[in-house]
Structure 1
Amino acid sequence: MKVLVTGRDGQLARSLAERSAGLTDLDLVFAARPGCDLATKGSVAAAVRDTRPDLVISAAAYTAVDKAEQEPELAHRINAEAASELAEAAAAVGAPLIHVSTDYVFGGTGAAPMREDEPIAPLGVYGRTKAEGERRVREGQGDHLILRTAWVYSPFGANFVKTMLRLSRDREEIAVVADQVGSPTNALDLADVILALAERRHAGDRTGWGQTFHAAGSGRASWADFAAEIMRLGGSATRIRPIPTSDFPTPAQRPAWSVLDGGKLRDSFGLSLPDWRASLPAVVERLVSAETD
């Protein structure tokens, strides 16, 4: 089964590449710049036509949440327009589409894990463009799965875990927001779920297709909780000082509550992502080992 993956150097694409090693029934082809540039109209559709895949995984996006406030047109181009082109191109060659979205489509209210059918109310450009991308995928390719995830980290690229470990090298204390709560997600775990869904589809199982699912790490944490656990696992003496969001203003407003409920994914496919506390140690160990090599 030939699988076209948008992106090559992002956290999810690199996780898919690592986790797919040895899967003989899946042949992953990574489409990335300059040959496939989501910022350029028609580029992603051309990649689909040239590759003629059996399945498409939309793993690339504009994810710079704060920068999106200054670049709304580019964020819309990549997260909405390119998603639409990808969906339509996949439909044209008969390829089902797995599209990855975000918890930032929600407005951040509530106290219970967010289900897929709850109203969306994005607070910033990033969330709005991803919500628009979801809508366009639904309209452009009925044969799709939309997977919303959250707070992604991994051994690759730029992410919160890497930032905390870097800051801990020369700081005795780090102030971290404590009133934003979400679902830290290891991109390697997300890749495992996506590949399992791809293999099932390859075997002819169409269960759940045409629907939206939440695929994020189990459990919940504030950014301060997350940071404190990173310090503990990394053996750092750096203290984490919890602060309110009001003490750390950013260009983009972020949801205060974006814990995702993975029950529908579990009930439909028997798949779930591990609790974030169980999944974090291996990533921290890899990153710390890389620093000392």
Structure 2
Amino acid sequence: MSARTACRVETRRRRPPAPAARGPCPAAGRPAAPPGAYGRLPGRGTALPASLRELVEVLPAERALREPLVVALGSEDPVVRATALDTLRALRLGDAELYARTLGDPDIGVRVHTVSALVSVDATDLLAGAVTDPSREVRVAVAKGLSATRSPGPEPLVPLLDDPDPLVRAAALAALAATGCPPAYAGTVVSALSDPAWQVRAGAATALSSAEPLPAVAALAGALGDPNADVRKAAVLALLHHTAHDAAREALGGDAHRPGRGRARVRGQRCAGQRRVTRSHVWAAMIASRRIR
């Protein structure tokens, strides 16, 4: 036996034995709430609302939890009321009739959480009734919520399209991208591209992604020269929905380096005699939109 081999054998003898294999991990289940925890929900100044927000994803959807949460909706503390709404929504323990009670809550934050809860149960009619809420934050949430229901439609957004607050109008216009932008709405959307607020112009460009190409492409081509980068980016992304038309491809093929302007450049390819936009074109549009910042 050589000296090197003898050294290896000696090293193996001195090596400590491998630790015993660990047993199987116990099954992880939903943690049970501590005794009496449900009964403390309606209190004021307690840390339990914060704990519920952190643990809501693992709490069991038990009937025993729903009852005190409903009671908590009448708490004097708006944080408790908002937490109760969030927990009821996340655990799917509420319904439209229950959430409708808090649409008139004096706290703006609670009403915003109510909108999210109504979206979770697809209560479009109740959401449409909240378009006249005195709070801008609530109306913005309503506009976004109406586009997130299972069967969104543009009709409930009509009052918000004429809202005096530009952020509400912007949210309503952007929502048309999800609900659809029928020809009856196209005129309003195109007119919004000249709004003084850039948020409204960006929302209008986004809305035209779901409009008919005849009025949309020409309006979006003009929006590529908007002085605001966010509007130009929204126009680029909206035009990518109309690339089946030559006018949209020509607009996307503009010069991205023109001083003071922002024209996204997307080069078309020929495939079996037809021009088509591929993923590389999308990346080109995004790169161009970054260059114009």
Specify which structure has the bigger relative contact order, considering alpha-carbon pairs within 8 angstroms and separated by 6 or more residues.
1
Q: Give TM-score scaled by structure 1 length.
A: 0.27
Structure 1 or 2, whichever has the larger Rg, is 2
Higher helix share: 2
Higher strand share: 1
